A and B are shown apart, each in its own frame.
Chain A
Amino acid sequence: DAGITQSPRYKITETGRQVTLMCHQTWSHSYMFWYRQDLGHGLRLIYYSAAADITDKGEVPDGYVVSRSKTENFPLTLESATRSQTSVYFCASRATGTGWGGYTFGSGTRLTVV
């Protein structure tokens, strides 16, 4: 029962390259999220998705692109990586409906842009 899987776990890329971080969930949760974690900033929302083909910007979307053609996948693409995008990236999912939570987080991808 993998739940939510992020890949790769670590990635080093060069400035200007395109890189895609993968996120896959096995529960058919409606909501999916991408956060970045930086020291002194906590976790900040990049993009989120309420369902397949429905995505919207979060707090820090610039330089990122997402897609959600299937409910279970929510890839995050850095179109032209910059050093400021060096961070740990977390994917999360949640079932639809009200209630307190049911959030599940992936184990994160540590991305270094050199």
Chain B
Amino acid sequence: AQTVTQSQPEMSVQEAETVTLSCTYDTSESDYYLFWYKQPPSRQMILVIRQEAYKQQNATENRFSVNFQKAAKSFSLKISDSQLGDAAMYFCAYRSEGGATNKLIFGTGTLLAVQP
């Protein structure tokens, strides 16, 4: 079974600085998707960025980028120029390509604080 591990329960960053959130996963599959979701205090689940495992190029969305290391099964999220609105819980998630369930498997989350 696939698992997702986030080893940093809490992180803190100064406004305008850069922070990296870690995520590792375990799978025997070769085709899959990886995601980072943001959950602000409103509880809304917001997709931040996604990565297809077959793509070697790291995904980027504005200030958010990932470092995808397929062999190491690592998928870290880098937030550049951190803003107060980035403060939230961040979840790393995995989904198999194909299969019957289409389910997302989540890590335990990292709570990010942004200091002014």
Contacts and interface: CB of A to CB of B under 8 A. Distances in A.
B44 interface: yes
The majority secondary structure among interface residues of chain B is: loop
Interface string A89-114: 01010100010110101011010000
Given A43-B91, A98-B97, A108-B43, A103 B104 contact: yes
A50 interface: yes
B42 A94 contact: no
Contact of B35 (A31, A33, A92, A101): A101
Interface residues of B, number: 26
Interface in B75-116: 91, 95, 97-98, 100-109
Interface of A: 31, 33, 35, 40-45, 48, 50, 56, 58, 88, 90, 92, 94, 98, 100-101, 103, 105, 107-108, 110
